[in-house]
Amino acid sequence: MRQVVMHGPGDVRVEDREDPSIVEPTDAIIRLSATCICGSDLWPYRGAEPVDHQVMGHEYVGVVEEVGPDVRTVKVGDFVVGSFWASDNTCEICQAGYQAYCVHRVLMGTIGTQSERARIPLADGTLVATPGMPDPDLIPSLMAASDVLGTGWFAAVAAQAGPGKTVAVVGDGAVGLLGILAAKQLGAERVIAFSRHADRQALAKEFGATDIVEERGDDGVARVKDLTDGLGAHSVIEAVGTQEAMMQAIHSTRPGGHVGFVGVSHDVAIPGDELFMAGVHIHGGPAPVRHYLPELVQLIWDRKINPGKVFDLTLPLDRAAEGYQAMDQRTATKVLLTV
Ligand SMILES: [Zn+2]
């Protein structure tokens, strides 16, 4: 099969690799219908994380081709969506809604899903089947549910977005944009998007943003205060992972408010005195996407949300290197790879 391998920073190749096979009795093998490139794939691409001949990708939708002898609920022929952590969905941590920390979790990035086929561990716990075979136009949205929508949704929940709340969103990448969609769906009254890109501002508004703030850092915080009677937002989503973004999120939150952070943290250090004086709740980390998947798949199936709009470039898998380049140079927000 064809699979994306990152040989080193900036060096993405699509290679012939051995087809996956059942290793554990709880595994399934899927044939991917589509895959995509994640903003977090850019960290190794840019040399900000070590990489050496690493298989890439952790987002996936596809059709089950084979199941191990202990797989009970997932069937050959099912169209399935899963998240970037495989999880048993039965341990105490999973039952509490934190499948990203399952005691048996497997990181899908170590398997690589920018490929034609993939082995999915813990298939019964990990995979959510759609009600039937999806229309082709639903595939980008189902693909988004695999990570960016689920992550944005978790961020909105962690920030306690809901009726009567003003939500501010730091980061206008795919996760930030879908955090806006999630906040709107959860009933937020007002959604402030930080963005300085016209095309992303337009999508932010389409997803539910009511206000756009182009300033960053302290100036951005001041604008949010202006828009909220000097108080700050009730709920702030941090979807970048840098020091500036995290402090912008904390400082944009009113005392007693909530920060939901899902940007993969890179050298973020929160000064203790600023944390102490902020008086805000901070919750986040790797999103338990699996927890939200059944609800998200249904919303997509019923065409109530269209998160697939975050994909603004579609390429065949064999042209993955161009996709990485486009996301690195910000000519694309998120790239869908057809298989
Ligand atoms: Zn578990």
| CATH classification at residue 131 | 3.90.180.10
Q: Which residues pair with 282 in a beta bridge?
A: 259
267 CA from centroid of ligand 1 (Å): 29
Least Cα distance to 139 among 62, 30, 38 occurs for 62
114 with 75, same domain: the answer is yes
7 with 134, same domain: the answer is yes
Residue 330 to residues 122, 186, 292, 294, 334, Cα–Cα distance (Å): 35, 29, 29, 32, 9
207 with 265, same domain: the answer is yes
98 CA from centroid of ligand 1 (Å): 8
**The two structure tokens encoding residue 131:** 């009600």
pTM score, whole prediction: 0.95
Q: What is the pLDDT of residue 84?
A: 94
What's the DSSP call for residue 122?
A: S
Q: What is the pLDDT of residue 40?
A: 87
96 CA from centroid of ligand 1 (Å): 9
187 CA from centroid of ligand 1 (Å): 30
Q: What is the pLDDT of residue 210?
A: 98
93 CA from centroid of ligand 1 (Å): 6
Domain with residue 276: its CATH number is 3.40.50.720
> What phi, psi does 181 have (nearest 5°)?
-60, -45
Count Cα atoms within 13 angstroms, Cβ side, for 132: 4
Q: What is the pLDDT of residue 292?
A: 98
Distance CA 5, CA 70 (A): 31
Contacts of 96 (CB under 8 A, 6+ apart): none
Q: What is the pLDDT of residue 296?
A: 98
Consecutive 10-residue runs of the chain (339 residues): their mean pLDDT? 97 97 98 94 92 95 98 98 96 97 95 97 98 97 97 98 98 97 98 96 98 97 98 98 96 98 93 95 97 98 98 97 96 94
170 with 255, same domain: the answer is yes
12 CA from centroid of ligand 1 (Å): 33
89 CA from centroid of ligand 1 (Å): 5
Last residue of a domain, one of 284, 302, 329: 284
266 with 327, same domain: the answer is no
209 with 83, same domain: the answer is no
87 CA from centroid of ligand 1 (Å): 5
What is the residue range of 53's domain? 2-147+288-338
108 with 17, same domain: the answer is yes
Instruction: Fill in the amino acid letter for 250.
Output: I
285 CA from centroid of ligand 1 (Å): 17
128 with 169, same domain: the answer is no
75 CA from centroid of ligand 1 (Å): 21
Q: Which residues pair with 34 in a beta bridge?
A: 61, 338
95 CA from centroid of ligand 1 (Å): 7
167 with 235, same domain: the answer is yes
113 with 242, same domain: the answer is no
Least Cα distance to 66 among 24, 110, 115 occurs for 24
85 CA from centroid of ligand 1 (Å): 10
180 with 237, same domain: the answer is yes
Beta strand 335-338 with 28-37 is antiparallel
Task: Indicate the number of domains in the chain.
Answer: 2
